[in-house]
Structure 1
């Protein structure tokens, strides 16, 4: 078993180490993730992570962003896969129920069937057993592995014929520009993410020596690494430049997400280039979704592909003021 670089947080349950359940799952301690997007804005308005906006849309309070929960899986998956998790790990999750600040969440990872297994199922739930997310994780080349959670969901999508908010978008549509991103410890990540990496590290549920400026140079790669949940922030900070969102104003949320490191980890202070493409469009009774694949390249002479993200961004129909009017004019039932 590899040495675990993750340390106990200030969480009240931090002294409870991961343990194996009789059901062949590895279970982490209860954690209380923090809400850091209360001041998030886009398109000139507040997001669903603002309490007042959330309440107007029928939610009891502003939810914590989904990828925040990815941090709780890092110690468990590192325990199973070692350095490979941080170098070639993939986490894929469908978000099931929102979590608000003050609620406690626990992560579960099934134990591999054999010591050679590279693919496992994952889940998270609240203290009362309410499911938070379901998904899968793996390391290494995806060839020969089962499809991941989001890949399975995309394969099961039915063609959408009644899009209103996203009717101008097309599968195969690419981002309008090549985006360049860097995350330093004190870099403000913009209106979408109004905090810094240091702000996050002060409250992250699973601290790790390799994330910090002080101890990151002692990592196996000789540099501080970006936490899994903050890869989402890095890639989302410039997403508006891509022009792959629907009509406005509307309020959205993350419905599912997959982050795959190909030549990882991703490093603090490293510059990356992003290319985005719509790979699916879908809808439900309450939402319209655009599924975007973001490819992450190191900004260097040989420009290697280092990571990919698939994000299901769902926009709430009720948040678009002209939804009913435009739906009628388009003949959408």
Structure 2
């Protein structure tokens, strides 16, 4: 369990404490989180997943926006530099400014103690933000000219009604290493059920990946994640349905790039609960198709 959360504000910027996130997937052999695989691909070691870094931001966003962030708010981050198990990082949230009627937006970013940017983006509360950090990046994505790993995928491909349920015992074991553990993650009486921590909540929306993308034989890593609550929070041990759609496909000299959107709905009444925008980088050097 991490030490008590203490935020410091200076010149309008809220800074959380320095934390050392754990690489929870370090035993996933053959993934970017596995030391041997990551080093073979040019990384210092197995990387800490970007969704793990999300867990340092909720206390800062609650301090900036209040309780409304839990139900109608979001966090949109582009990942710039990978970290490894136990590397120290610090989260920041800037001053809030009007983004739309009833919506406040602030810059959000994470750095190492040396000032290297791990991620940067925006966070908001009060409603939907159509001009989030990832939506701006998505609008600038150029179409791919040569896709090999993703050759069977097409922009606009979609799936619907994919069952999603976060197992309580599994998710609670995950909390042992969460950098910022909020009371609602363990006390069901606060919100009428156990609230999923951000990294776990993101997994609920990722269930659309398998039916959307039929690619295999590569190593990938998160390039950007946006988690938005439409009528949150997301709970453990509750039945949901997810709809997914491929938003864009791109490439760089070293990667193929896939953007998709996922919407999570209550299975009982179809009510939209949350939305995810994910950008994944598929490393060309990890695929025999490219090597």
Bin the TM-score by the shorter chain: over 0.9
Distance apart, 1:146 and its partner CA: 6.0
* Cα separation, 1, equivalents of 2:180 and 2:221: 24
Q: Who is 2:188 aligned against?
A: 216
Q: Which runs of 4+ in 1 moved over 3 A?
A: 238-241
Structure 1 residue matching 2:57: 3-state secondary structure: helix
1:147 corresponds to 2:131: yes
1:233 aligns with 2:233: no
Aligned residue in 2 for 1:180? 163
Count of aligned residue pairs for this structure pair: 288
Answer whether contact 1:179 1:241 (CA < 8 A) is retained: no
Shift of 1:140: 2.5
**1:275/1:15 Cα in 2 relative to 1: closer, same or farther (>3 Å)?**
closer
Runs of 5+ unmatched residues, structure 1: 1-8, 187-195, 325-333
**Match for 2:17 among 29, 38, 54?**
29
Aligned position for 1:192: none
The separation in 1 between residues aligned to 2:172 and 2:113, in whole angstroms, is 28
Q: Describe how 1:127-276 pairs up with structure 2 within 5 A.
A: 127-142=113-128, 145=129, 147-175=131-159, 178-186=161-169, 196-212=170-186, 215-217=187-189, 219=190, 221-236=191-206, 238-239=207-208, 241-246=210-215, 248-276=216-244
Normalising to structure 1: TM-score of the pair? 0.82
SS of the residue corresponding to residue 202 of structure 1 reads helix
Report Cα offsets for 1:12-50 as digits up to 9, x if no partner. Answer: xx356101112x211000001111112336xxxx21111
SS state at 2:221 partner: strand
Higher strand share: 2
Question: Structure 2-normalised TM-score?
Answer: 0.94
Q: How far off its partner does 1:295 sit?
A: 1.0
3-state SS in 2 of match to 1:323: coil
Structure having the higher Rg: 1
Shift of 1:229: 2.0
Q: What is the CA-CA distance between 1:235 and the residue it aligns to?
A: 2.5
Residue 318 of structure 1 aligns with which residue?
285
* Matches of 1:146 and 1:165, distance apart in 2: 30
Q: CA deviation at 1:108?
A: 0.5
Contact 1:95 1:256 (8 Å CA) reproduced: yes
Secondary structure of the corresponding residue to residue 59 of structure 2:
helix
1:110 match? 94
CA distance in 1, matches of 2:256, 2:283: 7
